[in-house]
Chains A and B, each alone.
Chain A
Amino acid sequence: MTTPLLSVENLNVSFATPDGVVRAVTDVSFRINTGETLGIVGESGSGKSVTASSLLRLNNSVTASTSGKVLFDGTDVLTVDEDEMRRIRGQDIAMVFQDPLSALNPFYTVGEQISEAYLVHHPKASKSDVRTRVLEMLEKVGIPNPSKRIDEYPHEFSGGMRQRIVIAIALINSPRLLIADEPTTALDVTVQAQILDLMKDLQQETGMAIILITHDLGVVAEVADSALVMYGGRVVERADVMSIFSVPTHPYSWGLLGAVGSLDTSTRGHLATIPGTPPSLISLPNGCAFRPRCSHQEGVESKCANNVPVLRPIEGTSSESACHLADHQLVSIGQRSSRS
């Protein structure tokens, strides 16, 4: 049993806002090993992005209150001092954001920004050494003509190129964990495919772990080894990627799979929908947050309404689910909904 690279235990994050306390992340726990890719799936308001930013302590310290443990190689990221945190950021754990245009500083050249990422953690490096590494990195991420483009500004690149630069910044110090928050959402589909391929290739090379945050189940199916489904700030299902698509153990996961169109639908039918809308994180309902939209409430009405279901392993599967009904009923429902 290998020690996981990252182990998140009971992460809770809430924000104080003028409208009330937003419980963005509640009781989230998961682990990831070296070389693995974990996909965190959820829609807006699921808490997935806040979870990701908590791993590097990027949340606004004034309004956010965080509790729990984030153990990276044994060190609790949430409690280390600021200096240690700065050492971890960009070197052990790196992050890629969604919008490549706004993620790059418009006032400095691409070369300066990548160099900066390297120099922060290697302050004694010589100028030529840095330049060589930057050029190498640019080539590795697929920027054509790197020696010319190194002195250009972010706005002179296309969206896909910019995301490659963001990846170059993230990977120049060979981090052991890469957190990618919706890295391809803002990109065209052909570019998205390129970027995902790039990330996978680089992962092969360096053996790093990747946490990929996305709302796109297709992306999870393509690149992830295991998946975490989040809803209303909690993890509602954790499973390896094969299981989650063939035998989902939570009604929300099943609903998501049904709602996604496919390229193979040969008849125009209706998409299975999940009625209603995601819950407000300020006023979460009692009991299970998904209950208002769940169609499987037979017989367990009061339990679903009053008790928050806890993530637990489901017999007969390798998955974990936060659903009161998940034991046998849902597994068969999941099998019925198989997408093969």
Chain B
Amino acid sequence: MSTFSLEVKSLVKYFPTGASGLLGRPTKEVKAVDNVSLQIADGKTLGVVGESGCGKSTLARVVTRLIDPTSGQVFLDGQDITSLRGQELRIARRKMQMIFQDPYASLNPRHSVGQIISAPLRVQGIEPVHGVKTRVQELMELVGLNPEHYNRYPHEFSGGQRQRIGIARALILEPKLLVADEPVSALDVSIQAQILNLLENLQTELGLTYMFIAHDLSVVRHIADDVAVMYLGKIVETGPSGSVYSFPRHPYTTALLSAVPVADPTRRGRSGRIRLVGDVPSPVDPPSGCRFRTRCWKATDLCAQVEPPLEAVSEGHFVACHHPMDPVSN
């Protein structure tokens, strides 16, 4: 019996692209997610980080079945939800919900807050014991909104408040797993902190499991128990946050961490700064072998020929690299 809230096995998602030929059939594929496997234990938070084009958003959408995978499997609480359809899928969705990035685009401007938050109940055909309104207001209080604003419209709220509405909507079905796709990126720094604290409190209170997608490494450092670093559709490093952040073993992770501007001027110009050269290769035609090799200063012929598998370098800490970095503190 699995104690994993979420388990993903060899997940692949390719998008057809590039019309050519007389009939305009797609000839190429964007290999957005290429053989990704991960697990999230009950009540834990997995942070998924990477830059644009790494596939993390696609991963989030495939995991929540908003998009169908090309191949691979997704297990929610031990149940294989990969090929569920119709009513079965709808019932499975009660256990997993999603929070989106843009607080302005993810709420229907024509619906009142009450309608937005209660919509999942209607979709699922669930009638709460004390009525819809009471339940909605319970949630509004839980996320820090004034329950009296039940009838107001999204435009009357600030960005941070709208994100709270989105969170309330995600929680109303009492899900186990919450997939958050860059939930604080569109918010001001002072508001980000509020929302992150809220998410942490909710996790403790409600026993939630989080899959937290972000590009902001410091945000993920703060909220995630474990972290997975993605590059061009693959996970290149994964492990407990403390381990990965303090002792990164994959060259890309090291470069990524050293690129983050640190809010401490005394550390300016420190040595050990890595500057990656060039651009991320196209996900349509990724490099052979290790995908990072075109920008990696440690690349050898082996890297071009053989794709490195994820291997353990310490307890729970895995790296996909033929020449992992030495475990020197970052």
Contact = CB atoms under 8 A, between A and B. Distances in A.
Contacts of A160: 279
Contacts of B190: 43, 255-256, 259, 273-274, 278
A221 interface: yes
Contact of B264 (A44, A159, A189, A245): A245
A182 to B, nearest CB: 13
A218 B189 CA distance: 12
13 contacts: A43-B188, A159-B52, A217-B263, A221-B262, A245-B263, A245-B264, A261-B196, A262-B218, A265-B222, A268-B222, A278-B188, A339-B264, A340-B266
B263 A241 contact: no
B217 A263 contact: yes
Contacts of B217: 189, 263
B259 interface: yes
Contact of B189 (A144, A158, A259, A266): A259
Interface in A202-257: 215-222, 241-242, 245, 255-257
Contacts of B263: 217-218, 220-221, 245, 257, 260, 262, 339
Nearest to B278: A144
A189 B197 contact: no
A144 B279 CA distance: 10
A241 B267 CA distance: 12
Contacts of A241: 265
B193 A273 contact: yes
A193 interface: yes
The range of chain B's interface size is 35 or more
- By DSSP majority rule, is chain B's interface helix, strand, loop, or mixed? helix
Contacts of B330: 263
B65 interface: no
A277 B159 CA distance: 9
A222 B189 contact: no
B121 interface: no
B264 A219 contact: no
A189 B215 contact: yes
A219 B261 contact: yes
Nearest to B52: A188
Contact of A262 (B221, B223, B256, B275): B221
A158 B279 CA distance: 8
B2 to A, nearest CB: 25
A272 interface: yes
A190 interface: yes
A272 B189 CA distance: 11
Nearest to B223: A268
A224 to B, nearest CB: 8
Contacts of B218: 260-263
A158 B280 contact: yes
A73 interface: no
Given A272-B193, A277-B160, A216 B261 contact: yes
A265 B160 CA distance: 24
- The 10 tightest CB contacts between A and B, nearest first, are A218-B261, A261-B218, A188-B51, A43-B188, A193-B259, A259-B193, A271-B193, A261-B222, A274-B190, A273-B193
Contacts of A191: 51
Contacts of A159: 52
A194 B264 contact: no
A189 B330 CA distance: 17
B191 interface: yes
A270 interface: yes
B23 interface: no
Interface string B229-253: 0000000000000100110000000
